[in-house]
């Protein structure tokens, strides 16, 4: 065994390559491994990969039946959002939350750029936070410009493996630089994004936090997660809908226009937020089309 925190170059033991899933990368960011010296020379060999408590996977774009592990053993995720400059769409937040529910990763929504919020933004922030917290998601406020909330965010992340995601421009790189000035990530830079505003590289990187713990900058969580979800089971990934599903009259209720639907009953008495239900319908439609390319 080597001291943790040391960076070593290691290679895989041959038989590890055989796994239950067809993977393009047998070892991923976040994996816990057992290493030792090779029998024939001084090089370091990975003997064993510990069972992963969770993993973010995506289908290999080239080999359809193969999967690529983006990150493993994640303790929690942070969605970086903003009410302004640019305003994060609630649909974006819902989509990422669905993906993270799929991967079974607990999530905090961080509203950055609070230094810019005026009365109108403060009002939107108030109802959005309330709705998210009622569902069970934590929320936090930060300003990467004036440092507000950074200490609290640092505390939340301490000693954990954290995944951070967010739409372009919300200040994710600036925040990560605040958490670890040694990172020196480029900010205000759009060159690494393609036309759809997504990172062009699928690789994730894990950075050490000076106060303990790690942060993984993972582009694409939303796409990878949604690609695995069937439209018919979408409500399962809405924590506020999940406990109601068995109370609908029809056991295959899609909560669209069926009679005696417990989800729509909860919507009309205000227990489910309207924007969440609208996001449900919209994302469901998208999944129905995406999963049936022949239509
Ligand atoms: P990313 O695309 O999410 O990584 O965003 P960047 O970190 O590159 O930030 C985009 C722009 O927003 C840059 O011009 C930053 O200086 C600015 N920015 C980031 N955080 C804040 C903040 O909390 N308040 C204000 N006013 N500007 C910020
Ligand atoms: Zn229903």
Q: Which protein residue has the closest C-alpha to ligand 1 atom 24? A: 113
Does the C-beta of 187 come closer than 6 Å to ligand 1? yes
Helix, strand, coil: what percent of the chain each, to 5? 35, 20, 45
Does the C-beta of 165 come closer than 6 Å to ligand 1? no
Q: How many beta carbons lie within 10 A of that of residue 231, not counting itself?
A: 16
First to last CA, the chain: 55
Alpha carbon distance 77, 283 (integer Å): 21
Compute, in angstroms, the gap from residue 155 CA to the centroid of ligand 1: 21
pLDDT tens digit sequence for 64-94: 778 888 899 999 999 999 999 999 999 999 9
How many residues would you count in the chain? 295
* Domains annotated on the chain, with CATH: 67-217 (3.40.50.300), 231-290 (1.10.40.50)
Structure letter (DSSP) for residue 291: T
Provide the pLDDT for residue 20: 59
pLDDT tens digit sequence for 276-292: 999 999 999 999 987 65
pTM of the model: 0.90
Provide the pLDDT for residue 110: 98
Burial of 50: CB neighbours in 10 Å, binned 0-12, 13-18, 19+: exposed
pLDDT band at 192 (very low <50, low <70, confident <90, very high): very low
60 has pLDDT over 80: no
pLDDT band at 1 (very low <50, low <70, confident <90, very high): very low
Provide the pLDDT for residue 151: 96
């Amino acid at each position: 065994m080597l001291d943790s925190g040391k960076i070593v170059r290691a290679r895989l033991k041959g038989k590890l390559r055989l796994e239950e899933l067809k993977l393009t990368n047998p070892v991923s960011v976040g994996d816990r491994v057992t290493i030792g010296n090779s029998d024939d020379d001084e090089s370091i060999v990975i003997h064993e990969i510990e069972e992963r408590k969770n993993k973010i996977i995506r289908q290999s774009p080239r080999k359809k039946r193969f999967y690529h592990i983006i990150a493993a053993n994640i303790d929690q995720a942070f969605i970086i959002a903003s009410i302004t400059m640019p305003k994060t769409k609630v649909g974006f937040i819902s989509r990422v939350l669905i993906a993270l529910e799929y991967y079974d990763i607990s999530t905090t929504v961080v509203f950055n750029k609070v230094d810019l919020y005026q009365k109108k933004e403060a009002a939107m922030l108030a109802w959005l936070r309330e709705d998210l917290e009622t569902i069970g998601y934590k929320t936090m406020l930060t300003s990467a410009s004036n440092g507000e909330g950074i200490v609290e965010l640092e505390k939340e992340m301490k000693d954990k493996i954290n995944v951070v995601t967010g739409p372009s421009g919300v200040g994710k790189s600036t925040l990560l630089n605040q958490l670890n000035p040694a990172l020196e990530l480029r900010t205000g830079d759009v060159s690494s994004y393609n036309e759809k505003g997504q990172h062009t590289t699928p690789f994730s990187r894990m950075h050490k936090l000076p106060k303990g713990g790690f942060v993984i900058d993972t582009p694409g969580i939303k796409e990878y997660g949604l690609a695995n979800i069937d439209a018919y089971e979408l409500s399962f990934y809405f924590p506020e809908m999940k406990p109601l599903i068995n109370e609908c009259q029809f056991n295959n209720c899609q909560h669209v226009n069926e009679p005696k639907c417990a989800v729509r009953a909860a919507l009309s008495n205000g227990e489910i937020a309207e924007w969440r239900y609208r996001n449900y319908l919209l994302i469901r439609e998208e999944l129905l089309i995406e999963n049936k390319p022949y239509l």
